[in-house]
């Protein structure tokens, strides 16, 4: 018989619709903590997985798990659980998470596969037990969670020449199953959470550099001179270059938001949802770019391209620094480049690539908007965000100098002034979450009348 302290075990044969709201909330609370903790734990591994297929498996698992935690959390609040009653994951689950973090990426992927399978069984049983009309919302909840499990386990369709073959071969070994049991079965600790979501700080090992696939030709920036293709190049060369450059930058743009999920426990749940979505978008972009290169008859590994490692300039830095360098000023540059390229692609016979980049542009606007939103959350005020942006970019330039990352990485510290001088599309910038203050400064700079 379930009790308040130890509600019905997940996978209990008792129908979910026979449980009181309180006891069913206890089950959901355990699953909420399990999915959020597992998603955050797995997110730490992104820079350790070199090639496309294992990254796809990891990103899909993280996106699915964080998505489930958001659904479970929303339902918990509907079930008379107050935010100060969320509790925390049990000590066994936190210990298992720290142990996973000390291990390999392969082990993490095996755990992800086993956990998603365990969750599939759990949600299937819970959904099957919600037969009564009073369990309507619970039946919907578990159905939505099952849809996310299916997304999380969707097999990656590899490029024909993908050196990783048909995706990672993950098997749920005994160790992975034991870890899954620690996540799913350990009771939550009761009481007020110490963070907004109840999720704990994790022992995430530093990861100052990322692992690149052999074909990616990432090199120390000091050794290369970054060059855009000449404007006289044929359209095909420009399109190939844009696709290939995109693949390189999508990798970095996947890793940073995932590391943010793993390393920062003090943010609201929406932050983890945004970062998981951001990483998932970048994975999709990687696949889209690969597909278009393939459709153009090119093997992406043989399209010559070298780009500096911009991951190392952000790894280990504070959250606001990362949001500014990657998104508020970095992906913001991509907005202008894409908006400029899309009509030219259409007019030069690459309508299909133009449509793809149009969708990518919509995603990139959202990524910048996430950064602007969370920077305001961290600093509270547009003027402070602007000052913090300037300081972060000054600090970036010092790092670039110290580490020999090259001119490609250098940024002008006054971001709005720089954007303004390049006649930015202010409507796009508004969609990207820049404030009225930011937009006014950009507009003023573009006419040269700013103080
Ligand atoms: Fe992207
Ligand atoms: Fe992006």
Question: What pLDDT shows up at residue 1?
Answer: 37
Burial class (CB in 10 A: 0-12, 13-18, 19+), 2: middle
Using the mean position of ligand 1's atoms as its centre, give its distance from the Cα of residue 255 in Å: 12
Helix (H, G, I), strand (E, B) or coil at 51: coil
Q: For residue 399, with 0-12 CB atoms within 10 Å meaning exposed, 13-18 middle and 19 or more buried, which class applies?
A: middle
**What pLDDT, on the 0 to 100 scale, is given for residue 219?**
47
Structure confidence at residue 225 (pLDDT): 45
pLDDT digits (tens, 9 = 90+) for 119-147: 999 999 999 999 999 999 999 999 999 99
- Confidence at 224, pLDDT banded by 50, 70, 90: very low
Q: What is the pLDDT of residue 423?
A: 83
Predicted confidence at residue 407, as pLDDT, reads 80
Please report the pLDDT score of residue 118 as a whole number.
93
Is 86 in contact with 29 (CB distance < 8 Å)? Answer: yes
Residue 210 CB contacts under 8 Å (≥ 6 apart), including other chains: 46, 47, 48, 251, 252, 255, 309, 311, 312, 315
What was the pLDDT predicted at 270?
A: 98
Confidence of residue 446 (pLDDT cuts 50, 70, 90): confident
Q: Which two tokens stand for residue 203?
A: 């022992």
Whether 16-185 shares its CATH topology with 220-446 is answered no
Distance 185 CA to ligand 1 centre (A): 37
Residue 2's pLDDT is 42
**Alpha-carbon torsion angle 270, 273, 277, 278, nearest 10:** 60
Quick one: pLDDT at residue 365? 97
CA 183 distance to own-chain centroid = 22
Single out the residue of 74, 96, 94, 97 nearest to residue 86, CA to CA: 74
Are 89 and 188 in contact by the 8 Å Cβ rule? The answer is: yes
pLDDT band at 271; cut points 50, 70, 90: very high
Per DSSP, 189 falls in state B
CA of 287 to the centre of ligand 1 (A): 10
Domain ranges of the chain: 16-185, 220-446
Q: What is the DSSP letter of 240?
A: H
Position 12 scores a pLDDT of 53
Question: Residue 337: is its pLDDT beyond 70?
Answer: yes
Mean pLDDT value across residues 306-328: 89
Segment 351-387, tens digit of pLDDT: 999 999 999 999 999 999 999 999 999 999 999 999 9
Rounded (5°) CA angle 53-287-142: 75
Residue 402 pLDDT level (bands cut at 50, 70, 90):
confident
CATH 3.30.497.10 for domain 220-446: no
- Section 402-410 average pLDDT: 81
CA 351 to ligand 2 centroid distance, Å: 22
Mean pLDDT of the chain: 86
CA of 327 to the centre of ligand 1 (A): 10
pLDDT of residue 227: 47
Cα(367) to ligand 2 centroid in Å equals 5
Report the distance separating Cα 313 and Cα 411, nearest Å.
13
In angstroms, the Cα distances linking 59 to 67, 141, 343 are 12, 22, 31
User: Does residue 229 or residue 101 have the better pLDDT?
Assistant: 101
Å from CA of 311 to ligand 2 middle: 14
Strands 307-308 and 218-219: parallel
- Which residues are CB-contacts of 420 (< 8 A; sequence separation ≥ 6)? 441, 442, 443, 444, 445, 446, 450
Q: What is the mean pLDDT of residues 62-75?
A: 97
Res 172: pLDDT: 67
Distance from residue 26's CA to the centre of ligand 2 (Å): 37
**How is domain 16-185 classified at the CATH fold level?**
Heme Oxygenase; Chain A (1.20.910)
Distance 96 CA to ligand 1 centre (A): 33
Residue 296 CA, ligand 2 centroid: distance in Å: 23
Residue 107 makes CB contacts below 8 A (sequence gap 6+) with 100, 175, 176
130 CA to centre of ligand 1 in angstroms: 40
136-145, 206-215, 419-428, range with the lowest pLDDT: 206-215
Burial 236-267 (b: 16+ CB within 10 A, else e): eebbbbbbbbbbbbbbbbbbbbbbbbbbbbeb
């Amino acid at each position: 018989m379930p009790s308040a302290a130890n509600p019905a075990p997940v996978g209990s044969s008792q129908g979910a619709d026979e449980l009181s709201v309180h006891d069913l909330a206890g089950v959901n609370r355990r699953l909420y903590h399990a999915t959020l903790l597992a998603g955050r734990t797995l997110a730490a591994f992104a820079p350790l997985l070199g090639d496309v297929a294992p990254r796809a498996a990891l990103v899909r698992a993280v996106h699915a798990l964080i998505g489930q935690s958001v659904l479970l959390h929303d339902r918990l609040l509907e079930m008379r659980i107050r935010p100060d009653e969320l509790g925390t994951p049990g000590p066994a689950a936190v210990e298992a998470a720290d142990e996973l973090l000390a291990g390999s990426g392969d082990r993490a992927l095996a755990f992800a596969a086993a956990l998603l399978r365990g969750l599939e069984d759990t949600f299937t049983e819970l959904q099957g037990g919600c037969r009564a009309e009073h369990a309507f919302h619970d039946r919907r909840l578990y159905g939505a969670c099952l849809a996310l499990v299916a997304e999380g386990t969707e097999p990656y369709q590899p490029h024909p020449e993908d050196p990783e073959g048909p995706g990672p071969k993950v098997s749920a070994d005994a160790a992975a199953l034991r870890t899954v049991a620690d996540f799913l079965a350990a009771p939550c600790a009761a009481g007020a959470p110490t963070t907004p979501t109840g999720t704990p700080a994790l022992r995430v090992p530093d990861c100052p550099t990322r692992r690149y696939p052999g074909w990616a030709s990432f090199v120390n920036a000091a050794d290369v001179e970054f060059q855009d293709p000449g404007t006289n190049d044929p359209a095909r060369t420009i399109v190939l270059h844009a696709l290939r450059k995109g693949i390189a930058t999508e990798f970095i743009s996947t890793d940073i938001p995932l590391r943010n999920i793993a390393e920062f426990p003090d943010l609201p749940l929406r932050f983890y949802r945004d970062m998981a979505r951001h990483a998932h978008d970048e994975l999709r972009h990687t696949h889209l770019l690969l597909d278009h290169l393939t459709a153009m008859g090119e093997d992406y590994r043989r399209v010559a391209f070298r780009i500096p490692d911009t991951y190392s300039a952000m790894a280990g830095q504070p959250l606001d620094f990362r949001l500014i360098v990657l998104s508020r000023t970095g992906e913001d540059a991509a907005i202008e480049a894409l908006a400029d390229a899309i009509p030219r692609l259409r007019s030069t016979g690459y309508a299909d690539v133009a449509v793809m980049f149009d969708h990518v542009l919509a995603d990139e606007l959202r990524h910048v908007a996430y950064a602007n939103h969370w920077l305001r959350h961290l600093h509270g005020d547009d003027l402070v965000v602007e000052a913090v942006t300037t300081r972060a970019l000054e600090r970036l330039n010092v790092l670039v100098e110290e580490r020999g990352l090259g001119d490609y990485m250098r940024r002008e510290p006054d971001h709005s002034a720089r954007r303004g001088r390049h006649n930015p599309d202010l409507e796009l910038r508004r969609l990207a979450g820049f404030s009225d203050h930011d937009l006014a400064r950009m507009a003023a700079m573009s006419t040269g009348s700013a103080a």
